[in-house]
């Protein structure tokens, strides 16, 4: 194939010239005397027109299947009728490999099938859009911290013990010793923060929790800044600034990708500082307040009506299906019906549970951790991420610093994303007093021996400091408006799924 191949996204600059492209066959339509090949190369998709007069190429064009790897030579022609604005009038066609049995069609597939074919599913436009946005988020994170003088620290993945309870970690045999895959870089990061001031780590992290939900992976990426001389308000500002930056960068560079994902950008455009900041205690008051109760009841009533409307629409679609003649119309309707059925079932289930949630909120007791239901209720009251701070000590980790103004709570902050995406950030100011930390570890029944190095940080120039972790995949899911986290990472690791 020609060395001077042009990328499809650059084709418009070559109007009227003969060029070569390389790529994969993404779609094909043939007529008696003309064939249309849709070719993608990772930078774009272009329609290539092959006329019957072009004997060899036309014959080849009529034979190759989806995802065949091909080289195409042709003349670029700007054309209103073409999708990307440019077309290629084919003069030569070279088949690197003809594929007859590509398993993924340009249509709906089931989750299990797609997950088993994840290595091929990645080629679909939707998955490519998600991966591009993920890449932008990663770059944006690195730029944000670099601009603020943070030094990136790579913390170890093999870890001698657990930071917060060994039951949720993956054990690994390390020359006969039992060690674990890291679930956070935080403790090591604290050491680095005492060396460099502002640091962050960004890498994979592992949780062996047996969670089978749309929000959980067993292997996911987390960015964790850790800042010396920082108090809780500094951390909240940092998290808020980071999230605004991430959303702004995606909006600036990925309008087309968001459109391809059917992601309404309007909710993202509202993501500007300042975010609402409430304490846990205020959150509990909000949950229990009569105003919230009324709002939730009104929401329940509205959703009940929505359910009735959906059910009516479902019946209407089923009538249309019975009347539909064309096969693909039937299929399209069938798919719409299936989606609507699932939505109706989900909403129905939700509505069944809702009165219990509402009652749970009204009677929520101070001291309990906020669960998914409570988070959902709180985020529904706002259209921006909310920062919830100062949780009860009992539900948080040993290294979090108690609030001097109210020792029942710690100086932590969780950021809850809107639109039901839940917790994307968790962090805290750390306990910087040696005695207080030792006392807390005693109270939790922890053996201090493996943590001596960590305690050393409080013996040799301790300072107020803190940090947080932001989950990359949950952020991708929120920004892209995805229902499930499994599409946010190239090869998701889920409980009970490790292939491919």
Contacts (CB under 7 A) with RNA, residues 117-136: none
Options 9, 10, 14, 36; binder of RNA; rule CB under 7 A? 36
With 0-12 CB in 10 A as exposed, 13-18 as middle and 19+ as buried, what is 461? exposed
From 213, 289, 297, 433, residue interacting with RNA (rule: CB under 7 A): 213
Do the Cβ atoms of 384 and 276 come closer than 8 Å?
Answer: yes
What element of type H or E holds 77?
strand 69-78
Who contacts 54 (Cβ-Cβ below 8 Å, separation ≥6)? 90, 91
- Taking CB under 7 A as the criterion, the residue among 423, 438, 446, 491 binding RNA is 423
Task: With beta carbons less than 8 A apart as the criterion, state whether 91 and 74 touch.
Answer: yes
Q: Which of residues 226-255 bind RNA (CB under 7 A)?
A: none
Beta bridge partners of 355: none
- Residue 108, interface with RNA (CB under 7 A)? yes
Give the integer Cα–Cα distance in Å for 484 and 466. 31
Q: Does 52 bind RNA (CB under 7 A)?
A: yes
CB of 429 to RNA, least distance (A): 15
Site for RNA in 452-471 (CB under 7 A): 469-471
214 near RNA, judged by CB under 7 A = yes
Query: Binder to RNA among 109, 152, 245, 313 (CB under 7 A)?
Result: 109
String marking each residue 367-406 x if it binds RNA according to CB under 7 A: --x-xxx-x-------------------x-----------
| C-alpha pair distances (Å), 267 with each of 95, 223, 421, 470 | 45, 24, 13, 20
Closest CB 326 distance from RNA, rounded Å: 5
Q: Which is nearer to RNA, 237 or 423 (CB)?
A: 423
Burial of 35 (0-12, 13-18, 19+ CB in 10 A): buried
Instruction: Lay out the site mask for RNA across 328-347 (x = CB under 7 A, - = otherwise).
Output: x-xxx-xx--x-------x-
Does 87 bind RNA (CB under 7 A)? Our answer is: yes
Closest-CA residue to 179 (of 212, 157, 205, 151): 157
- Judged by CB under 7 A, which of 19, 86, 217, 361 binds RNA? 217
Q: Residue 43, interface with RNA (CB under 7 A)? A: no
- The rounded distance, in Å, linking the Cα atoms of 59 and 63 is 7
Residue 15 or 294: which CB sits closer to RNA? 15
Rounded to the nearest whole angstrom, what is the least distance from the CB of residue 442 to RNA in the complex? 20
Please tell me the distance from the alpha carbon of residue 357 to that of residue 76, in angstroms, as a whole number: 60
Choose, by CB under 7 A, the member of 59, 106, 119, 139 that binds RNA. 106
């Amino acid at each position: 194939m020609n060395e001077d191949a042009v990328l499809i996204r650059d084709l418009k600059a070559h109007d009227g010239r003969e060029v070569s492209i390389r790529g994969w066959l993404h779609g094909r339509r043939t007529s008696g005397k003309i064939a249309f090949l849709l070719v993608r190369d990772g930078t774009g998709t272009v329609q290539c027109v092959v006329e019957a007069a072009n004997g060899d190429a036309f014959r080849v064009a009529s034979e190759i299947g989806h995802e065949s790897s091909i080289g195409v030579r042709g003349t670029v022609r700007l054309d209103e009728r073409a999708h990307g604005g440019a077309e290629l009038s084919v003069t030569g066609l070279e088949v690197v490999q003809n594929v007859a049995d590509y398993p993924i069609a340009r249509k709906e597939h089931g989750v299990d099938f797609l997950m088993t074919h994840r290595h091929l599913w990645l080629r679909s436009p939707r998955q490519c859009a998600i991966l591009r946005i993920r890449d932008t988020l990663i770059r944006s994170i690195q730029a944000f911290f670099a601009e603020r003088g943070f030094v990136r620290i790579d913390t170890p993945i093999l870890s001698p013990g657990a930071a917060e309870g060994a039951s949720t970690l993956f054990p690994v045999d390390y020359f006969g010793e039992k060690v674990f895959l890291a679930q956070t870089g935080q403790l090591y990061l604290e050491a680095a923060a005492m060396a460099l001031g502002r640091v962050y780590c960004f890498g994979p992290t592992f949780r062996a929790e047996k969670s089978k939900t749309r929000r959980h992976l067993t292997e996911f990426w987390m960015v964790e800044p850790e800042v010396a001389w920082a108090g809780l308000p500094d951390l909240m500002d940092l998290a808020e600034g980071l999230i605004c930056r991430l959303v702004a960068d995606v909006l600036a560079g990925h309008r087309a990708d968001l459109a391809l994902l059917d992601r309404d950008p309007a909710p993202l455009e509202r993501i500007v500082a300042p975010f609402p900041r409430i304490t846990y205690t205020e959150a509990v008051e909000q949950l229990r307040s009569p105003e919230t109760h009324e709002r939730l009841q009104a929401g329940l009533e509205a959703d009940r009506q929505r359910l009735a409307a959906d059910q009516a629409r479902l019946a209407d679609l089923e009538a249309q299906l019975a009347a539909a003649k064309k096969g693909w119309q039937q299929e399209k309707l069938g798919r719409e019906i299936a989606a609507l059925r699932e939505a109706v079932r989900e909403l129905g289930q939700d509505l069944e549970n809702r009165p219990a949630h509402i009652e749970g909120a009204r009677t929520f007791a101070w001291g309990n951790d906020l669960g998914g239901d409570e988070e959902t209720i709180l985020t529904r009251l706002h259209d921006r991420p909310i920062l919830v701070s100062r949780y009860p000590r009992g539900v948080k980790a040993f290294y979090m610093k108690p609030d001097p103004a109210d020792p029942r709570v710690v100086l932590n902050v969780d950021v809850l994303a809107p639109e039901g995406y839940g917790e994307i950030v968790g962090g805290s100011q750390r306990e910087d007093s040696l005695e207080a930390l030792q006392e807390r570890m005693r109270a939790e029944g922890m053996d201090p021996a493996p943590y001596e190095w960590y305690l050393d940080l409080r013996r040799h120039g301790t300072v107020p400091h803190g940090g947080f972790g932001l989950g990359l995949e949950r952020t991708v899911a929120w920004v892209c408006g995805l229902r499930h986290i499994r599409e946010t990472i190239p090869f998701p690791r889920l409980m009970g799924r490790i292939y491919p």
